[in-house]
Amino acid sequence: DAKTTQPPSMDCAEGRAANLPCNHSTISGNEYVYWYRQIHSQGPQYIIHGLKNNETNEMASLIITEDRKSSTLILPHATLRDTAVYYCIAGGSNYKLTFGKGTLLTVNP
């Protein structure tokens, strides 16, 4: 899997959009970008993934730059329940996921 770089922590006000960046400059052409999150003491939760095009689902939007070297996960209206560690993973071509340290997103009231 390609190495990813995420800020260790971010804050966001409740109701505002949370934009979580991820750098994956060494990503190869067939590697996807996956986003998961982990709420304290729970198993990770799948959020979204994409290859080249921007993606949107009921949870979030994923914006991937044209050169695919970085991406941004957008939670459009953050709630307190979105407080979690968010992991960006570039890879999966061999169906394995390598988790880094992720970004601790704290949503404040």
Partner 1 sequence: GAVVSQHPSWVICKSGTSVKIECRSLDFQATTMFWYRQFPKQSLMLMATSNEGSKATYEQGVEKDKFLINHASLTLSTLTVTSAHPEDSSFYICSATKDRGAEQYFGPGTRLTVT
The footprint of partner 1 (CB under 8 A) covers 32, 34, 36, 38, 41-46, 49, 87, 92-93, 95-102
Which of 95/109 has CB closer to partner 1? 95
Least distance CB 84 / partner 1 (angstroms): 13
Which of 36/90 has CB closer to partner 1? 36
Which of 38/106 has CB closer to partner 1? 38
**Sheet hosting strand 9-13, strand order edge to edge:** 9-13, 103-108, 84-91, 32-38, 45-50
* Alpha-carbon separation of residue 30 from 8, 12, 47, 51, 81 (angstroms): 27, 33, 20, 8, 33
Least distance CB 15 / partner 1 (angstroms): 28
Residue type, 39: I
Q: Which long-range contacts (CB under 8 A, 24 or more apart) does 42-45 make?
A: 44/87, 44/99
Least distance CB 82 / partner 1 (angstroms): 17
Which of 70/91 has CB closer to partner 1? 91
